[in-house]
Structure 1
Amino acid sequence: MRDLRTRHIQETYKAIWAENKIRQQNREAADEALAAERAAHKAWRTCTIRPRPPQLRHNWNAAKAALRTARSKPRHITGPGSQHRMNNTLSAALQDAFAEKLISQNWAKTVVLPKYLRPKPMVWTEERVARWRATGKKPGKVMVWTPEQTGTFLDAVADHRLYPMFHLMVFRGLRRGEVAGLPWSETNLKIGTVHISEQLVAAWYDVWEDTPKSDSGVRTISLDSHTHELLKLWRQRQQAECEEWNHAYEQWQQNRKPQPDEPSHKTPKEPWKDAGLVFTWQDGRAYHPQYLSQAFDRLIKRVNMPPIRLHDLRHCAATLSLAAGIHMKKIQALLGHSRYSLTADTYTSVLPQFEKAEAEAPVALVPRAGKQQEPQTTPDVPATT
């Protein structure tokens, strides 16, 4: 640590920037390979000649192989936000060393990083939806559904296994890791509350338990009546699945061996795993947080909704609460934000219909003599006598 200087840390970020350029090229190459694979597949599928020319199948196989090769290269870009979080973590560690007089200065504080502005949620208005359907491009990184769009999605997935989880996230604003790691021991179905004290964190295939993102993330949330009833029904379903799974496991052990072609989910080779969590697979195992995001993305495409991330359901909860007249301080407590300014800065823009009412309110306060004239669209013409 005595030899550490700002230039050493700066060189690390320069290496990240250089790697980002390579990964951006890999991402573009993967997109091109995907387009070529789809074109080759379409040419083979739409060919009217029977039998199809072997060259079409050969071209499709070659395009699939090229796509696999392109996707095998690293494509994840470490953006400005990630770089700032990395530097903040390093700075906090060096600040501890500086306080203990192990180093003479916190060298991470003088590092130069790209400018980063926290993205603010944008609502999927009719105009933005039409533009997205025409071009396939999202207007922003963080998008939020309108109440009507949210209702359409919930109605469309009401029969899905994860519907209670989606409902909980939409209206109570839990993070992905918080719903994945929510234990029954912190869920009170008698009075309808959940205590958020831990979450599941995923890095690639590794998953571990951790505390929420900030100290204020540890919070108790009251459930609305609908979500409360859904969790009661989900508890009953989970208990029934546990009994069915253990019964099938006992039958398999006593009477027969699994057939080679029999699906593994129908031949339980182990008893039901009691992870103690609210949302689990049929065998009691915890959901991988990344699987929840993938399942959500597939559902959005299936019901043809404008795309948002699973994490954006949390923004939907905040926006709906703000539109319903709930104070920003209450929304901060609901989301578990460490600072009031973070909540206020993120959700300064609300749904369009409420913005319209806010725009009209100041006009109504100004007294006018007589009826206000409508703006003219054509030049005044002198009256003729």
Structure 2
Amino acid sequence: MAFSVPLGSRTILHRALTQAQQWGLVIRNVAENVKPPRSAPSTRQVWEPHEARTFLASIKGHPLEALFLLALTTGMRRGELLGLRWQDVDEARSQVHIRQNIVTAAGKLTTTTPKSRRSVRAVPIPPDTLAALQAHREAQQATREKAGDNWADLDLIFTNHHGTSVGMNLTRVWYELRDAAGVKRIRFHDLRHTYASVAASRKQVSAQVISERLGHFSVAFTLQTYVHLFDEERRRAVHTTENLFADEAETETPVEAIGVKQG
């Protein structure tokens, strides 16, 4: 039989019994059979398109403009953005390859592999985002020349003045820029949700495409995570079904109505 206990209590109990087992005070750790409760889903807030435009206009020319533009136009995770290297940029195909993350662990920046197989992916980027990356590269080259031997040659795209990751300062910079722009106070991770929200509102962008760009392990997960964003799509499907078996004389475009291209 398995029981559920509060997450914090389970962790403490599990550690205590593990120590007791090591001391020979108990035969086994019975907390192993206790199921941890599901954590409550976090509240997601997103920007409306006009808020995103306001923010981007306010940070024009900022050293991290390209990072925030990438976040809003691709939905990339914070660690994926920080882990990007110039070797990961394919200018000919206008896309970036996600091959590593830089995350904070125990107060230090650590380079890790992406969280799943689908997280390793190529993400097409729009022309203005590519142009911002190219401008960022030129600015970084000037900074690199000024730093001279003090520059850490890590090939990272988003760095401080010494060539190391900007990760430790990103949260502070994000809050400062967000508040200065006078837009809704969302989290950095909500830029990812903002991308998904705007993309889902575009009728030509499918759940499959959004899932691939976000690096989700399945389309089902994308639909579950952003179920509210696809409500309109489901309503359109119901409306379409009303005409699905109608006589061709009763509907002007019966084939187009069910999403099949003619010819």
TM tier relative to shorter chain: 0.7 to 0.9
- In structure 1, which of residues 165, 169, 179 is the aligned counterpart of residue 67 of structure 2? 165
Q: In the aligned structure 2, how far is the partner of 1:118 from the partner of 1:174?
A: 20
Q: Is the 8 A contact 2:6 2:36 kept in 1?
A: no
Distance of 2:94 and 2:143 partners within structure 1: 23
Does the C-alpha gap of structure 1 residues 322 and 356 become closer, same or farther in structure 2, counting only changes over 3 Å? Answer: closer
1-structure distance, mates of 2:98, 2:232 = 33
Deviation sequence 1:83-133 (CA, Å, 0-9, x none): xxxxxxxxxxxxxxxxxxxxxxx974x4143343434xxxxxxxxxxxxxx
Structure of higher RCO (CA pairs closer than 8 Å, 6+ residues apart)? 2
What's the C-alpha RMSD, in Å, of the aligned pairs? 3.4
| Residue in structure 2 matching 1:187, options 89, 108, 113 | 89
Cα distance in 1 for residues equivalent to 2:222 and 2:12: 30
Shift in CA distance, 244/115, structure 1 to aligned 2, threshold 3 Å: closer
SS at match of 2:150: coil
Describe how 1:265-304 pairs up with structure 2 within 5 A.
Answer: 270-288=149-167, 290-304=168-182
Report the AA paired with residue 214 of structure 2.
L
Give 2:185's match in structure 1, choosing from 307, 311, 323: 307
What is residue 25 of structure 2 aligned with on the other side?
none
Match of 2:215 in 1: 336
Cα contact 1:293–1:309 (8 A) shared by 2? no
User: Separation in 1 of the partners of 2:176 and 2:73?
Assistant: 21
Match of 1:345 among 200, 224, 229: 224
2-structure distance, mates of 1:224, 1:199: 22
Figure out how many residues of one structure are paired with residues of the other and give that number: 227
| Structure 2, gaps ≥5 residues long | 14-29, 244-263
The residue number in structure 2 matching 1:114 is: 37
Distance apart, 1:228 and its partner CA: 0.8
Structure 1 counterpart of 2:201: 323
SS of aligned partner of 1:349: helix
SS in 1 for 2:37: coil
* Larger CA Rg, structure 1 vs 2: 1
Matched letter for residue 14 of structure 1: S
Match of 1:209 in 2: 111
**Per-residue CA shift, 1:61-83, capped at 9, x if unaligned?**
xxxxxxxxxxxxxxxxxxxxxxx
Structure 1 residue 350, shift from structure 2 partner: 3.0
Deviation of the 1:159 alpha carbon: 2.5
Summarize the Cα distance change of 1:188–1:113 in structure 2 as closer, same or farther, 3 Å threshold.
same
Residue of structure 2 equivalent to 1:134: none
Q: How does 1:1-385 map to 2 (within 5 A)?
A: 13-14=8-9, 16=11, 108=32, 110-119=33-42, 141-246=43-148, 270-288=149-167, 290-325=168-203, 326-350=205-229, 355=232, 362=239
Residue aligned with 1:142, SS:
coil
Gap runs ≥5 in structure 1: 1-5, 19-105, 120-140, 247-269, 367-385
Q: Is the 8 A contact 2:6 2:37 kept in 1?
A: no
Cα drift, residue 189 of structure 1? 2.1
Q: CA deviation at 1:245?
A: 2.4
TM-score for both structures, normalised by structure 1: 0.52
Change (3 A) 1:327 1:177: same
CA distance in 2 between partners of 1:357 and 1:158 (Å): 38
